[in-house]
Structures are given as C-alpha cells and as structure tokens.
Structure 1
Amino acid sequence: MIELHRNTAEHLAWAGVQVIALGVVAATAGLGPIGWVAGIACALVTQALVGRAMRRHATTALGPADRITLVRAGLTAVITALVVDGAGPPVIVVLGILALISDFVDGQVARRTGTASAFGARLDMEVDAFLILVLSAHVAVSSGPWVLAIGAMRYLFVAASWWLPWLRAELPPSFARKTVAAVQGIVLVAASSGIVPRSDELVLLALLVLTWSFGRDVLWLSRFRT
C-alpha cells in the first residue's frame, strides 16, 4: 500500500512537471488555450497509462532509464501542445532534438545500470511511437497528409493484431528495426525545420524504409505463427 501511494505521488509529480514545462513554453514561445488543453491532457493520460503499465508488469518502482523516458514523454506532451496550437518550427525542432537525444540516453543508462526491463522497453517504444505520430502530424501540414502514414503505421499494426492474434508474438531483437525507428524521428525533426533541402523526398524515403521494416516483421510473424 505504501509503495502504491509512493508511485501515485510520483506520477502526479511528473504530471506537474509537464504542466510547469508547458508554462515555461507558454511564457517564452506562446501557447493558446487549445495547446494548453492538449498538453495537459497528454500529460495526465501519459501518467495514468504509465501507472497502469507498472501494475500490469508488476513493477514497483521506476528505474533511472524509465525516468529519462518520462522526460521524453514530457517533451512529447509539450511538442503535442505546440503542434496543436500551430506553433512555428524553431521551438518544435529544439524540443524534438532533445527528445531524440533522450531516446539514445535512456537505452545507454538501462544497460549500464543493469535496469533494463520489459516494462522499460514497452514504455520506451510507446513514447517513441507517440512522438513520431505527433511529428508526422506537424510535417503533414506542409508536406501533405500522406506523411501521417509514418506515425499511424505502429497503431495500424496494433489494431491489426486485435483480429490477427499471431501479430502479438514476440519479435526477435533487430538492429535494423531499431535503426529504422530512429531514422523516422531524425528525418521528421529535420523536415520540421523547413530548411532541409528536398525534405519531402527524405520523408518519403523514410516512409518506404519503415514500410519495409514492418513488412519484414509481419512476414516473420506469419512464417512462425503457431
């Protein structure tokens, strides 16, 4: 019971930090009412889902890498607020770069501290997926709705698994899969800047590579389904 209250307090503290971050951005870059609503909703939903995932994985406390991942979740909440609010590229690019750096750091911390876990890996993956969705929505405004396919692909895969249970099987570790996922964020942040030449072609190439990656995983799962 004490551990439960401690975790609840930490989740509320993280949500509070995210709201404070929204306030800082609002004071410096500006943030309208719609952006505030989106950012706060994102912060609260994130912490609620983290608490639920901890209970599901029987995780009693967050590890150091998990907390770094939650920093990225906080950055994602702020980016979401800015994208919904129609903010310009500079602040989104800066926050996007920080989020990408944290994605590299949390994995390193988990390995060096020996705190890697199934919960941490799932948290990392879901935060990354939502960040890519938000960035793709931002880039889609200038490049076209087709860019949303990058952000939607992970969620379409999950939706398909509701009807095809064999898609839920565990995939073997893959450096190529991790590299492709990292490339999506890098390309979308670069395209968000508006200064990278031929950014549409780069985003299209990233989408094609992502499609190949998901297609390869689906073929593997299909071949070894039980």
Structure 2
Amino acid sequence: MASEPERLGGDRFGRSWGLAQAGWITQLRARPALLSDTIAGLSGLLLGTSIVALLVSFRLPLGWDFVASVILSLVLMFTLVLYALPDHPHRRFGPANLVTAFRACLVSLTGATVLCFDSLAATDLALWTLVGVVLIALALDGVDGYLARVYGHESAFGARFDMEVDALLILVLSVAAALLEKAGLWVIWIGLMRYAFVAAGWMIPRLTGELFPSFRRKLVCVIQISALCLILIPFVETPYSTAIAVVALLALIYSFTVDIIYLLRKPGTP
C-alpha cells in the first residue's frame, strides 16, 4: 500500500505540462504491446464496472446519474493512467496494475453511491453494501504490490497508481462520513490533507522532495481507510464515530508533520 505524504519523483504526473506532452504519442507508438495490453485490460474493467453499476441502479434506488458518475469517474482515472503510461518501464501492463485498476473501479462505485444516494443514511442495505465494497478494496490493497514483486513488475508508475487510488478512496469515505453526520465537516480534512500537501509543494519546492521508505506511512494509510469504513457501519453512531474520526485525523496529522519537518530540514534542493 502506498501512502501519504510519500511522493515519487520522475513520473509523468509531476512533470510540467509542456515537457509531459513532448513525444507522448511517439513514445506510446514505440511500445504497441504495452499500449494494446493496457487498453484491453482497462476497457474490460470499464465495461464490467458499467454493467455492475447498471445492475446496482436497479437493485437500489439510484438513478442514471449514478451510472453516469461511475462511468465518467472511471474514464477520467483510466485516461490519467494512459497519460502516465510512457513512464511504465515494463513491456506489459501486468497483473499488479490490473488489480490496482480493479480497485479504482470499486472506488468509482463507492464515490458514485455516496454522491448520488439521497437517502444513504436511511438505508442499511446501501450502507452495508458500501462497507462491503470498501472492505474488498482494502483487502486487495497489498495484493498488487505482492504481484508486482512476484512478476518482477515493480515500478514508480505502479506505486503512484496505487497511491492515487488509496488517496481517492480516503477522500470519498471522508465525504461519506460528513454526509452521514458521523462526524463534523472537519472529517473531510482526512481526505483533503494529502491534496493540500501536494498543493503546498507548488509553493514550497522542498515539500516535493523524495521521502525515505516508512512503515509508518503505510500503517497510517490503513488506519484511515479502516477507521472511515468502521464509521460507515450503521450501528456505529456519535459520539463513537466522532471519536474514531478524531483518532484517525490525529494519526494523519502526526504522519504528515513528521515528513514535512524532514523535508524542510533536508539539506539541498529537490
């Protein structure tokens, strides 16, 4: 599991717009096997997720906006993956990245449910379904890293892809906690803090430096997802849900503080 505020350098997501555009199509054309393999895998996942979203919309009181939200969010995520694809060092997209892409599908379903379900708090079935989907996504986290090691497909591209999916899932769950009034609006900061850190890096270049590997970041990331998932369970109500959210937020603040201090004190410039 990748976690924040870990930042991986040298990838297409972090380059300037002009530099990232230069030779992008040429690079992909030079690697037809990778491109075709990636498009085939992502297209299959997009089609399967669209069918699942359609079936879910019939089972739960969700409209066509739910289906459209799932498809559009997934298309956006997969477009970003294709945009970063030239940074993938291997000949094939690989099973590890396919698992991460499947987790992205689960995140898109979760996010669309949170945004489009008007009576989410009043429907235990919807909440339990949401918790189940999140638990599957959490259980699969780490599987992609294992597969990458087994098949020799470890890369900064795959790590960043995994990290972005984790970050988006945490943001979606924090929004759900706020909408369900399991905690105050401040709970959204659990999901926004990573993006605030990235934005701060635009103004303070030292924050874009490379961090040392840390089990603490991985543990804190697991804590965030687990805590937010626990909060969504129907019988977990305030003040217990609020207390859980406070612990998760304090753990996240501590982790960010440690790494920010390290980056600011690190000698040299990025």
| TM-score, L = length of structure 2 | 0.79
Q: Is 1:220 paired with 2:262? A: yes
Deviation at 1:64, TM superposition (A): 1.4
Deviation at 1:60, TM superposition (A): 4.3
Unaligned runs of 5+ in 1: none
Q: Is 1:135 paired with 2:173? A: yes
**Alignment match, 1:192:** 232
Distance 1:104 1:186 in 2: 14
**Alignment match, 1:119:** 157
Distance 1:51 1:147 in 2: 32
* Residue identity matched to 1:36: V
Distance 1:72 1:5 in 2: 21
Deviation at 1:47, TM superposition (A): 0.7
**Alignment match, 2:62:** 31
Q: Is 1:77 paired with 2:105? A: no
CA deviations 1:136-181 (Å, max 9, x no partner) are: 0000111221110000001001111111121111111100110001
Distance 2:61 2:97 in 1: 30
Deviation at 1:84, TM superposition (A): 0.7
Distance 1:10 1:30 in 2: 30
**Alignment match, 1:61:** 92
Distance 1:59 1:163 in 2: 34
Which structure has more relative contact order (CA 8 Å, sep 6+)? It is: 2
Could you say if the C-alpha distance between residues 133 and 68 of structure 1 is closer, same or farther in structure 2, counting changes exceeding 3 Å? same
Q: Percent identity?
A: 38
Unaligned runs of 5+ in 2: 1-28, 121-125
**Alignment match, 1:99:** 137
| TM-score, L = length of structure 1 | 0.93
Task: Judge conservation of contact 1:54–1:60 (CA < 8 Å) in 2.
Answer: no
CA deviations 1:68-105 (Å, max 9, x no partner) are: 11111000010011001123411110101011001132
Structure 2 residue matching 1:196: 3-state secondary structure: coil
RMSD of aligned alpha carbons: 1.7
**Alignment match, 2:53:** 22
- Could you say which structure has the larger radius of gyration? 2
Match of 1:162 among 202, 212, 218: 202
Deviation at 1:24, TM superposition (A): 2.8
Distance 2:234 2:166 in 1: 22
Distance 2:201 2:75 in 1: 27
CA deviations 1:194-222 (Å, max 9, x no partner) are: 32361210111100110010111100001
27-36 or 84-93: which moved more? Answer: 27-36
Match of 1:40 among 61, 71, 93: 71
